[in-house]
Amino acid sequence: DNEPETWSAVRHFGFAKDYIVLRLTGRLLTDHSDASGSDAYDLGSGTWWEEIIDAAGLPLSLFPEVVDSTTVVGNLTPEAAAALGLTTATAVVMGGGDGPTAAVGAGVVAPDDPPFVCLGTSSWISFATAAPAVDKLMRVFSFRHLVPGLFVPTATMQAGGACLAWVAEVVGGAEEPLDLLVRRAAGVSAAADGLFFLPHLLGERSPYFNPQAAGAFVGLQRHHTRSHLVRAVLEGVAFNLRLCLDAFAEAGLTATTIDAIGGGA
């Protein structure tokens, strides 16, 4: 509708890693984990959702073949091998989406494994399950796992570490490095002192899915210090992740332990 000239040139859809695999091997494929985040994929059947694609007025031919993440797509083309300084005997594996791949890295590869929280620029909590999580309020969503037959129910907040980086820039600067700000924040308790932070600096996904959501300090008073502000940001991210855990619990997923990965771990 908005860029008809661009649209007229479109021949295929793919995800970021799929384009890299295409450049390396000459083959355009995708995997189940990325496809399941497209809103054009049937989680139950593990195939493109033809009814939805047809309703959107799109040809099915736009969508690449879906394969397992562990599929060896092929070897490097001569051009790719020359550019990389490798040989054409080098095999290229399909790979997966960032969140489900993080689940593998965190060791969350079976339904009895505890969930993990990723504390990066964004932040999310994920489980491994034998079936998609069903949340009537649509606060959590499910990807296909890299492990065939499993799913990755996920609740993602837009700004996790990004909130901490922001407050460090605002109240710290070069004179107050991040690690020093965090150490000083350990000496106060913002919520106990009436100060709260809403961490929606980039809109919000879980649990609100509202691109217009905005951040805020609530309860700010004259006696609050930089340490209170930093501590409030840390607590605000944690409180939002707790809301995500509450949403999981209502969908039937609970945990007594959580493994942490990412820079914020």
CA 55 to chain centre: 27
- Please give the Cα distance from 181 to 191 (Å, whole number): 17
At a CB cut-off of 8 Å and minimum separation 6, what does 25 contact?
73, 74, 75, 76, 77, 80, 92
98 classed as catalytic: yes
User: CA angle, 55 as apex, 50 and 56 as ends, to 5°?
Assistant: 100
Q: Which listed residue (68, 98, 113, 259) is catalytic?
A: 98
Indicate the angle between helix axes 178-185 and 161-171, nearest 10 degrees. 100
Tokens of 46: 């593990």
Residues with a catalytic annotation lie at 98
